[in-house]
Structure formats: C-alpha cells, structure tokens
C-alpha cells in the first residue's frame, strides 16, 4: 500500500454532502460524527453492522450495511481509509462520477482549518495521549475540538466539535497521512520501527516524523527525552521559529517526571517544569501513562495554560476504550481488554498489569495483527508475552492484508514457548472463549490483547461461563 499524499484542503462546508466508506472504523466513525456535528450532511456504509454504526445512526447519520453504488446518494465528496481498495463498488462509482475522493486524513485536516491544531503521533501511545490531552484542555474549560481513534471512557465519544481554539487529533503515522494535518503543535511520543510494509525501511519511517515536525505551520514540537529515536529529532527540527519541549524521566527533560509510583492501579509521580513543580496523580495505571500525561501537560503549556491546573486535571482521565478496559469478572478472575499490537506495547501492558494481578496469575490472550507485522516481529512478540504466566495465541487478524505463505499466529506461539512461556495456540478464534474459560483460575487477571476482533473474546467467555 503506498503512502498517502497530502492534498490541498478546503473548508468542510465547501464539500457538499459527504459519504464515508467503512464509516464504522475506529478512525472513520469519529470524523464522520464530527462532520455531522459541524452541520455537514453525512452518510456512510460498512460491510457489517456494529456498535459504532448504531451510535452513528442515533446521531441521525444515514448508515448502510453492505457496499452498493447506490449508497452514495447525492454525495459530492467521498471519504476513504487506507483499507479501502480501488475495487470497492462505492469507490469505483465515485471515480466514475468524478466526485471528490479524499483520504480520511484530508477530511480530518479540513475540520482543523481555522483552529490551533495539535497533532499527536508516535509508534505507541497516540490514542491515550490524545485522549489525555483533550481531557486536560476540557477540564480547564477551554472546550477543545478533538478526534481520537478510540472513545473516551468518560464520555463514550471519540470526537467533539468545541467552541475553543484548540483542535486535538491522533495523527496516524502508519500510512504517512499525518503529514496532512495543519498543526501548530506536534507531539511525538516515541519512534520504533513499524509499518515497514508502507515505509520500506526504518530510516524512511523516522524521516516521516522529521518531515511532520518541519511542516510550515508547526511552532512547537514535544518530544520524549527518554526515547533515543524521538530525541534524535531535536537537532533536525529545532529552529526556523520552532521550539522543542522534551518530556520524560531523563535529567535532560524540560518537563521531568520523578518519584514515580507505578505498582498501584493509579500511577503517580512528581512533575517538574521550569516554572512549576508538584504532584501528578492519575486514575489509570502504568509508567507509560505518566509519560503520556507529561506530553499532554507540555502541550497544554505550549497553548498557554497554567501548569498547576493541568497537573490537577490529569486525575480526571479515566482512559479510552480498549486501553486496559475492564470487561468483567467470572469465578474470581478479572478480564481486561487492550489494543496493544506491537511488541513494545505488549511488554508495557503486561509490565503494568503484573502488580495489579497481585497474587493471581497474569494470563495473556493475544491475537497478532497483520501478516507483515507478525512476520517481522514474531520473536519480539514471543519475548514480550513470556512476561505472562499463561499465554494463549490466536491466528493472525489480517485487516487490510492478504495472507503471506507460512505466516500464522503459530510463529508467535512458538517464539513465546522458546522464551519460556506456557502457551496454547488456538487457530480458530471461535474456540478462544472456551480455551480461556478453561485456563482461568480464581484470582487471575486475564488480558485480551490485539488490534483485531479479539475484543469479543472476553464478553464471549463470560457469556459461556454464565450459561
């Protein structure tokens, strides 16, 4: 799949009626809802019904299940994601009619026009950091607009059109579409080779972040002081009217975290900036969440907000959907669900979950996402999963990709065994709820992990046990 090329933007009210293909996707549904909130006529379609489609219908959006050329109706603009192939009948009809066809990043970029844009990107932590930042600004009564790849736990919504100046977006680096956003502030949480099916090499992937930070409108860049690759951006982007703010535990950080407590369900630390210092108390666990909050704090300061108020607001964040989300409890075992789909994310998740498991076992049920990622990182996934006491591995969730010969979830299962884990491989996801039910013991903490449809396994396991 080629990288997305930026296009010239026009205001959303110049687009006419807008039709979204695959409107129920995590990246698409929030943008579609934001367009409807902005008063633009919106319609959309997806191959299967879902909770996202039902929520969009409740907001008055015309949604179709199944793809058909007739679904376009009177649309003047059609929005697609990178997952939509040229053979899609609705996209083919849009091309035939000569309609404006935009990637979803252009649709989001158009919403940002006239605002102080904030683009949050990085290999890991984008969604949570974007959610934290949006909530921090909202808690300070600035009423920001935002579009996030997952709903906020506090509101159940992944988008909002506010009255304030700031527009906060999760900027997807996977396909290069983050270059489309008219951002004044850019934050890079970290950089670790990923999405090489699009970028080709780790060097090209890194260069994409550098290009983003050097976009003409960018005035502030927030970087991790603890991530070697992110910090390597500093000399490349500083100057020409741009300033850099670094965050992290490093003594070099402009916004520094000290005295971290990460073995509790609610992490806390002391945050020190040049003109502000004091406690940073969260309601979510993990060292990585403290780092995410520090990024949100730095963004707030770049927008002119007071440090003490930003620190105080951090505790209000309750997470986003599918980020250490509690599913339920069965027979004394707790089940959580998480979107982690890169080895570093899986390692950070299991590290954060270990103290919360207490005396119980940590059980990881993992679904690899994408054949290319499984091929490239099977060994690293296995090593990360070995942090759990019991591991269940499913087959690969293909998403936008075609199969690759010899690449299955068993590669990850074998790697986890080699790393010393107790592993069960389940080739057919339909059997996963029964396997998880048999594995669980009272006191266990189980995590269903991955970016695919593994999220359904926890509820299905509970339903099976409670029959």
The binding site comprises: 122-128
Domain ranges of the chain: 12-102, 114-316, 325-465
Measured CA to CA, the distance from residue 338 to residue 312 in angstroms comes to 26
Residues that are catalytic: 126-127, 170
Residue 261 exposure: Cα atoms within 13 Å on the Cβ side: 13
In DSSP terms, 261 is beta-bridged to: 268
Count Cβ atoms below 10 Å from residue 140 Cβ, excluding itself. Answer: 18
Of the candidates 381, 336, 384, the residue with the CA atom closest to the CA atom of residue 360: 336
For the whole model, what pTM was predicted? 0.82
Which DSSP string do the residues of 302-327 spell out, in sequence order?
HTT--HHHHHHHGGG---BTTSSEEE
CATH class label, 325-465: alpha beta
- Residue tagged 């549904």 (tokens): 29
CATH class label, 114-316: alpha beta
| Structure tokens, 253 | 């950080």
pLDDT tens string, the chain, 467 residues long: the values are 578 899 999 999 999 999 999 999 878 999 999 999 999 999 999 988 888 899 899 989 999 999 999 999 999 999 998 889 899 999 999 999 999 999 999 999 999 999 999 999 999 889 999 999 999 999 999 999 999 988 888 888 889 999 999 999 999 998 899 999 999 999 999 998 888 888 989 999 999 999 999 999 999 999 999 999 999 999 999 988 999 999 999 999 999 999 999 888 889 999 999 999 999 999 998 898 999 999 999 999 999 999 999 999 999 998 877 788 889 999 999 999 998 999 989 998 999 899 889 899 999 999 999 999 999 999 999 999 999 999 999 999 998 789 999 999 999 999 999 999 999 999 999 999 999 999 999 999 999 999 899 999 999 999 888 77
Do 341 and 451 form a contact (C-beta atoms < 8 A)? yes
Do 413 and 379 form a contact (C-beta atoms < 8 A)? no
The binding site for ATP comprises: 122-128
Measured CA to CA, the distance from residue 185 to residue 238 in angstroms comes to 13
Do 208 and 202 form a contact (C-beta atoms < 8 A)? no
Measured CA to CA, the distance from residue 211 to residue 274 in angstroms comes to 28
Protein fold of 12-102: Rossmann fold (3.40.50)
């Amino acid at each position: 799949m080629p990288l997305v090329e930026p296009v010239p933007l026009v205001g959303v009210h110049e687009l006419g009626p807008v039709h979204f293909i695959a409107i129920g996707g995590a990246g698409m549904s929030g943008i579609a809802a934001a367009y409807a909130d902005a008063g633009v006529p919106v319609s959309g379609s997806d191959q299967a019904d879902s909770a996202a489609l039902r929520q969009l219908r409740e907001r008055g959006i015309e949604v179709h299940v199944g793809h058909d050329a007739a679904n376009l109706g009177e649309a003047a603009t059609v929005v697609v994601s990178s997952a939509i192939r040229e053979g899609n009948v609705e996209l083919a009809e849009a091309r035939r009619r000569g309609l404006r066809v935009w990637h979803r990043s252009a649709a989001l970029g158009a919403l940002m026009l006239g605002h102080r844009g904030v683009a949050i990107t990085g290999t890991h932590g984008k969604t949570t950091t974007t959610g934290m930042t949006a909530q921090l600004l909202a808690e300070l009564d600035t009423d920001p607009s935002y579009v996030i790849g997952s709903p906020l736990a506090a509101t159940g919504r992944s988008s909002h059109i506010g009255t304030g100046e700031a527009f906060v977006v999760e900027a997807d680096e996977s396909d290069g579409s983050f270059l489309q956003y008219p951002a004044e502030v850019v934050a890079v949480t970290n950089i670790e080779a990923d999405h090489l099916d699009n970028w080709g090499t780790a060097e090209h992937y890194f260069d994409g972040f550098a290009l983003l930070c050097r976009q003409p409108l960018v005035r502030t860049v927030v970087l991790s002081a603890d991530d070697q690759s992110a910090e390597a951006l500093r000399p490349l982007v500083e100057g020409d009217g741009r300033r850099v703010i670094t965050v992290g535990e490093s003594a070099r950080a402009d916004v520094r975290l000290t005295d971290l407590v990460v073995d509790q369900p609610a992490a806390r630390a002391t945050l020190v900036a040049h003109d502000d210092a004091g406690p940073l108390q969260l309601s979510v666990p993990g060292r990585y969440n403290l780092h995410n909050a520090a990024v949100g704090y730095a963004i707030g300061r770049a927008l002119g907000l007071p440090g003490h108020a930003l620190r105080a607001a951090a505790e209000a964040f309750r997470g986003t959907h599918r980020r250490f989300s509690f599913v339920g409890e069965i027979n004394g075992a707790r089940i959580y669900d998480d979107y982690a789909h890169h080895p570093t994310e899986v390692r950070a998740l299991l590290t954060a979950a270990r103290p919360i498991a207490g005396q119980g076992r940590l059980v990881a049920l993992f679904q690899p996402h994408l054949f290319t990622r499984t091929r490239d990182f099977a060994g690293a996934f296995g090593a990360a999963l070995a942090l759990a006491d019991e591991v269940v591995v499913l087959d690969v969730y293909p998403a936008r990709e075609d199969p690759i010969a010899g690449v299955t979830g068993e590669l990850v299962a074998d790697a986890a065994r080699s790393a010393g884990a107790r592993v069960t491989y389940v080739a057919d996801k339909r059997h996963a709820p029964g396997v998880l039910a048999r594995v669980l013991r009272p006191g266990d903490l189980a995590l269903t992990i991955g970016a695919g449809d593994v999220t359904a396994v926890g509820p299905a396991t509970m339903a099976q046990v409670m029959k």
